[in-house]
Amino acid sequence: MTTNSAQVTIFPPIDIAFLYKVNKIIGESKDVHSAMDALVPVIRPYFIFDNVVLFLVDPLTLNLEVAFAKATGRGRSAEADVAWGEIIGSQVVETRRVILQEPVDSIETDRLRRPHTLGLPLLEKSEVLGAIIFIRFGSPPFTPDQTVFAEFLTDHLAVLVARDKLIKENSRLEFQYRTFQVQEDFISTLSHELRTPLGYIKGYSTTLLRTDANWDDKARQEFLTIIDQETDRLEDLLNNLLDSAKLQSGMIMMDFQVVRLDALVKDVIIRAQLHNQDQVFQIEMPDTLGPIHADPGRLAQVLENLVNNAIKYAPGSPVIIRISVVPDGITLEVIDKGAGIPEKYQSKIFDRFFRIPDQISVAHGSGLGLFICKQIVQAHGGKLQLTSRVGEGSSFRIFLPTQP
Q: What is the DSSP string of 87-130?
A: HHHHHHHHHTS-EEE--S-TT---GGGSEEEEEEEEEETTEEEE
pLDDT value, residue 74: 63
User: How does residue 81 score in pLDDT terms, banded at 50, 70 and 90?
Assistant: very low
**Does residue 157 share a domain with residue 49?**
yes
pLDDT value, residue 86: 84
**Does residue 212 share a domain with residue 313?**
no
Any idea of the CA torsion for 9, 15, 18, 22, to the nearest 10 degrees? 110
pLDDT of 9 strictly over 60: no
**Does residue 104 share a domain with residue 14?**
yes
**Structural domain of residue 100, as residue ranges?**
2-173
The Cα 359–Cα 368 span in angstroms is: 15
Question: What are residue 132's DSSP bridge partners?
Answer: 54, 120
Total number of domains constituting the chain: 3
**Does residue 151 share a domain with residue 240?**
no
**Does residue 191 share a domain with residue 141?**
no
Strand (E) or helix (H) holding 284:
strand 281-284
User: How does residue 319 score in pLDDT terms, banded at 50, 70 and 90?
Assistant: very high
CATH of the domain at 137: 3.30.450.40
User: How does residue 267 score in pLDDT terms, banded at 50, 70 and 90?
Assistant: very high
pLDDT of 342 strictly over 50: yes
**Does residue 81 share a domain with residue 8?**
yes
Residue 280 or 234, more confident: 280
**Does residue 270 share a domain with residue 204?**
no
pLDDT value, residue 13: 67
**Does residue 119 share a domain with residue 17?**
yes
**Does residue 340 share a domain with residue 391?**
yes
The Cα 83–Cα 99 span in angstroms is: 16
Last residue in a domain, options 226, 249, 272: 249
**Does residue 261 share a domain with residue 244?**
no
CATH of the domain at 206: 1.10.287.130
Last residue in a domain, options 249, 265, 298: 249
Residue 37 or 254, more confident: 37
User: How does residue 360 score in pLDDT terms, banded at 50, 70 and 90?
Assistant: low
pLDDT of 4 strictly over 90: no
Residue 107 or 243, more confident: 243
Task: Name the average pLDDT for the chain.
Answer: 83
pLDDT value, residue 356: 78
**Does residue 330 share a domain with residue 397?**
yes
Please compute the mean of the pLDDT values over residues 45-65 and round it to a whole number. 86
- Rounded to two decimals, the pTM is 0.50
pLDDT of 221 strictly over 60: yes
| Burial class of 131 by CB neighbour count within 10 A (0 to 12, 13 to 18, 19+) | buried
**Does residue 287 share a domain with residue 223?**
no
Please compute the mean of the pLDDT values over residues 301-325 and round it to a whole number. 92
Last residue in a domain, options 194, 228, 249: 249
